[in-house]
Structure 1
């Protein structure tokens, strides 16, 4: 029972590991001056109230006070798939012999035939040993 649960748990964990290693996402940060105003992972960041003032200020000074920083975390693009033909002959031979012996390791035992399985013993009316007073000493 616990072996099945551990097997399923490790399988799910490895599947999630493969999934998260291939997913890419972006982290967007909005700074107003040197102060971090908003951080967003899946949506766009909220702009600060200085955005309207910044447009007017940019016309005068040509300098922006707010900036957006985008960090892209890229996942793995390709997964490596190996085939049996990519292995050396010795490795192929080892895997084939290991698989053959592993499969034959768990052969079922022959079904035992019990001839008296459905036989019910006769009902005891009296205990013969007590009746005849014959005891093994």
Structure 2
């Protein structure tokens, strides 16, 4: 399961967008567009800009190597087959043990013999 998650996260691509007003970081966004500052609309009208956007693209792995069981050498196929067989048979349950006195019920005690004979363990 861990290897499947590793393959999944290594193939995911995403972008990180940062918006700066001057030297101050205003917003960081991972999957959507970063929020702009309020002064940017006035700067567009005045034709000078102090705001800037930085976009970092993190590319995931594009090419994955797929191999099948037939691509392995004969010795490797034997090893994998033996490993799988021994792992599956590792969890086979044991046979039920025969217990001859399973249905035996002890006799009812009429009196306590130790109290009757006045014998106590000290």
Query: Into which bin does the TM-score normalised by the smaller protein fall?
Result: 0.5 to 0.7
Structure number having the greater helix percentage: 1
Paired with 1:69 and 1:23, the residues of 2 have a C-alpha distance of 20
Superposition TM-score, scaled by structure 2 size: 0.66
Unaligned runs of 5+ in 2: 118-122
2:120 is matched with which residue?
none
SS in 2 for 1:101: helix
TM-score (norm 1): 0.61
Structure 1 unaligned residues grouped into runs of 5+: 1-10, 132-137
Q: Distance in 2 between matches of 1:37 and 1:107?
A: 61
- Count of aligned pairs: 114
Where 1:20 maps in the other structure, the secondary structure is helix
For residue 93 of structure 1, report the CA deviation from its aligned partner: 0.7
Q: Distance in 2 between matches of 1:14 and 1:56?
A: 53
Say if 2:32 is the partner of 1:43.
yes
TM-aligned CA distance change 1:49 to 1:115, over 3 Å: closer
Q: CA RMSD in A?
A: 3.0
Give the Cα separation in 2 of the matches to 1:95 and 1:80.
Answer: 19
Residues 16-67 of structure 1: CA deviation (Å, up to 9, x unaligned) = 5444333222111123344433222233222233323332343xxxx64332
